[in-house]
Amino acid sequence: MRIDLHIHSTASDGSLSPGAVVTTALAGGLHIIAIADHDTTAGVMAAQVAAEGSIHVIPALELSTYDAGAEYHVLGYYVDIANPVLVEHAGRAAGAREIRMHGMIDRLVAIGIPVTFEDVLAAAGTKPDSLGRPHLAKALLQRGHVTTVSEAFDRYIGDQGPGFVPTALITPFDAIDIIHGAGGVAVWAHPRPEALRTLLSPLVAHGLDGIECYRPRLTHADTERISATAAEAGLFVTGGSDWHGEWQGRLGDFAVERDDVSRFLDIGGI
């Protein structure tokens, strides 16, 4: 059994439509996937329809959160995608992301890097539910301001860049509440070691359910450390590629096994 619990689609900043994610995951030999787009579940149903039982698609999303000026991502799995509070949050996040995109564009224009909202939409293809920095990076590439997407992040829109504007809608604690309210389980995505030390206890006290443990390029030692931390805190672990497109390699090249994430799959009755 080959499993990937963290994949993005064109509902946010992924490069493949939900349906194409499913066919690509199938071709890559995956059996269970989760579509976990930034602040939206808009891609989940299309993926489940495309899968038609061929591959198991777990409903998920990855909530962007802020606490004391730092960004944290919280994954929600097994959520009811029709939950009103979840749907309302997704709508607010989409609006905030659009306003923030205009803010980043204004900053870039002010430092002599002309780019427009239309450029960003053109770079994104069809308008995603959740606009993000990768769409802006692609627009900067297409306008010839940079030669690679990573150069766009390094020079302009990385967290410390002159064009960066954060969106600070909710804290990780709010994210846990929203996910639980929608019947899901909350998982801390790609935690930084120093953040784990300070934020894990309060998050666990607030009901955090799991930690993302298995990821591409994470060393065996790091994986062991996170899995020990999770066991100590009574949390389950998950794993996923955080795949956005072909530039990250072939979907399916990274996979976790059932044994790695059995507690998580048991919760979903999978």
Task: Name the residues that contact ligand AMP, by CB under 6 A.
Answer: 13, 38, 64, 132-134, 149-150, 153, 158, 244
73 binds Fe ion (CB under 5 A): yes
102-110, 136-144, 235-243, 249-257 -> range binding Fe ion (CB under 5 A): 235-243
CA distance 225 to 247: 29
133 binds Fe ion (CB under 5 A): no
* Of 126, 147, 127, 149, nearest in space to 136 by CA: 149
Q: Which residue is nearest to ligand AMP (CB)?
A: 132
Torsional sign, CA 256, 204, 58, 72 = negative
CB of 149: closest distance to ligand AMP in angstroms?
A: 5
> Length of the chain, please?
270
The entry of Fe ion, Zn ion, ligand AMP, none that residue 243 binds, CB within 5 to 8 Å by partner kind: none
CA distance 150 to 143: 15
Q: Write out the residues near Zn ion by the rule CB under 5 A.
A: 13
Question: 204 vs 13, 88, 136, 177, 210, CA distance in Å?
Answer: 29, 25, 35, 12, 9
- Count CB neighbours of 213 within 10 A: 28
Tokens standing for 79? 């959520």
CA distance 124 to 9: 11
Dihedral of the alpha carbons of 119, 250, 214, 158, in degrees to the nearest 10: -20
On whether the CB atoms of residues 162 and 103 are closer than 8 A, the answer is no
The entry of ligand AMP, Fe ion, Zn ion, none that residue 103 binds, CB within 5 to 8 Å by partner kind: none
19-27, 72-80, 155-163, 218-226 -> range binding Fe ion (CB under 5 A): 72-80
Q: Are β-strands 3-7 and 185-188 bridged in parallel, bridged antiparallel, or unpaired?
A: unpaired
Compare residues 134 and 184 and give the one whose CB is closer to ligand AMP.
Answer: 134
CB of 36: closest distance to Fe ion in angstroms?
A: 6
CB of 44: closest distance to Zn ion in angstroms?
A: 16
CA distance 92 to 87: 9
CB of 39: closest distance to ligand AMP in angstroms?
A: 8
86-94, 107-115, 189-197, 207-215 -> range binding Fe ion (CB under 5 A): 189-197
On whether the CB atoms of residues 89 and 178 are closer than 8 A, the answer is yes
13 binds Fe ion (CB under 5 A): no
Q: Quick check: helix, strand or coil at residue 35?
A: strand
Compare residues 115 and 130 and give the one whose CB is closer to Fe ion.
Answer: 130
Q: Which of 97, 242, 251, 252 binds Fe ion (CB under 5 A)?
A: 242
Size of the site for Fe ion (CB under 5 A): 4
Compare residues 34 and 101 and give the one whose CB is closer to Fe ion.
Answer: 34
Q: Which residue is nearest to Fe ion (CB)?
A: 73
Binding residues for Fe ion, rule: CB under 5 A, are 62, 73, 189, 242
